[in-house]
Amino acid sequence: MKIAVCAKQIPDPATPYSLDPETHFVVRPNDQVLDDTDRYGVEMALQLAEANDAEVVLVSMGPAGNLQGVRQALAMGADKAIVVDDEGLRGSGALVTAKVLAAAIQQEGGVDLVITGTESTDGYTGVVPQQIAALLGLPALSFARKVELDGTTLKVERISATGYDDVECPLPAVVAVTSGAVEPRYPTFKGIMAAKSKPVEQPTAADLGIAADAIGEAGSGQEITSVEDAPSRTAGTKIVDEGEAFQAIVELLEKAKVI
């Protein structure tokens, strides 16, 4: 059995992001970290792999840098990684990302289950898992807070607005797990050392059979025309309570249509 986990390297959220003034793309440093939301996917994959004797393959797209973020996931226990790194991919939108990841998964072959997080912490589109599923022609199970594998049947608790739904489907399938679905493990020192020598393939888009004009900003049919700073907070209104302040609060809430 083979499980593919989509995992992204992002700039360390603890450090300030900067944007390229020309392209408006996020400047990606050499040192990147594993996106925190993807740790849940990796952990889920490892737990399922341990119970079902499966191989775990990481699939990632973006500047490889020094691969520090990918090595984090390998140190947790994943077996190998595919990092699609191609200058032409800069500025790709969600659908192109999904096409690239789906192509990498297809080329790897024999994947029974694709696990993703719900959304990346730098892009926040939240649509890539479903797009991958559609491109691969597989069922998409989203917002999974619990995942079980019963033979070749995948059983999931999908978080809904009011609680959760029990959903199941046959493999192969794509499942997006929520943060908190499992407790991601801390890598051991042995894991960190082993990660050094685990295979990391770095194909280009062309290696995956994707044409140069189908990727990047142009291939995504989108362009970032400008980036504005978020408006800074303006000073609030001060209401001094002389026994009547509640009325002012009620008015404000009514104006905001909260009550």
Partner 1 sequence: MDFAPSAEHEAFRKVVREFAEAEVAPHAEEWDRTHRFPLDTVRAMGEMGLFGLPFPEEYGGMGADLLTLCIAIEELARVDSSIAITLEAAVGLGANPIFRFGTEEQKRAWLPDLTAGKALAAFGLTEPDAGSDAGGTRTRAVLDGDEWVLNGTKAFITNSGTEITSLVTVTARTGPDEISTIVVPAGTPGLVIEPAYRKMGWRASDTHEVRLEDCRVPAANLLGERGKGFRQFLEILDEGRIAIAALAVGLTQGCLDECTAYANDRRAFGAPIGSYQGIAFKCADIAVAADAARLLTYRAAWLRDRGERATREAAEAKLFASEAAVTAAREATQVFGGYGFVDETPVSRFYRDAKVLEIGEGTSEIQRIVIARTLGLPV
Binding site for partner 1 (CB under 8 A): 68, 71-72, 75, 185-190, 192-193, 196
DSSP-derived pairing of the beta strands 153-159 and 140-150: antiparallel
How far is the C-alpha of 104 from the C-alpha of 215, rounded, in Å?
Answer: 14
Q: Minimal distance in Å, beta carbon 184 to partner 1?
A: 10
Residue 27 token pair: 């400047």
Q: Which C-beta is closer to partner 1: that of 62 or that of 187?
A: 187
Please name the amino acid found at residue 5.
Answer: V
Q: Which C-beta is closer to partner 1: that of 65 or that of 126?
A: 65
How far is the C-alpha of 219 from the C-alpha of 207, rounded, in Å?
Answer: 17
Q: Which C-beta is closer to partner 1: that of 24 or that of 185?
A: 185
Q: Minimal distance in Å, beta carbon 35 to partner 1?
A: 14
Residue 69 token pair: 């973020």
Q: Minimal distance in Å, beta carbon 189 to partner 1?
A: 4
Q: Which C-beta is closer to partner 1: that of 72 or that of 178?
A: 72
Q: Which C-beta is closer to partner 1: that of 73 or that of 173?
A: 73
Q: Minimal distance in Å, beta carbon 227 to partner 1?
A: 28
CA angle, residues 94, 97, 103, in degrees to nearest 5: 140
Residue with tokens 């996931």: 73
Q: Minimal distance in Å, beta carbon 188 to partner 1?
A: 4
Q: Which C-beta is closer to partner 1: that of 75 or that of 133?
A: 75
Return the exposure string of 230-241: e unless at least 16 CB atoms fall within 10 Å of the residue's CB, then b.
eeeeeeeeeeee
User: Which residues sit opposite 6 in a β-bridge?
Assistant: 59
Q: Minimal distance in Å, beta carbon 217 to partner 1?
A: 33
How far is the C-alpha of 18 from the C-alpha of 11, rounded, in Å?
Answer: 10
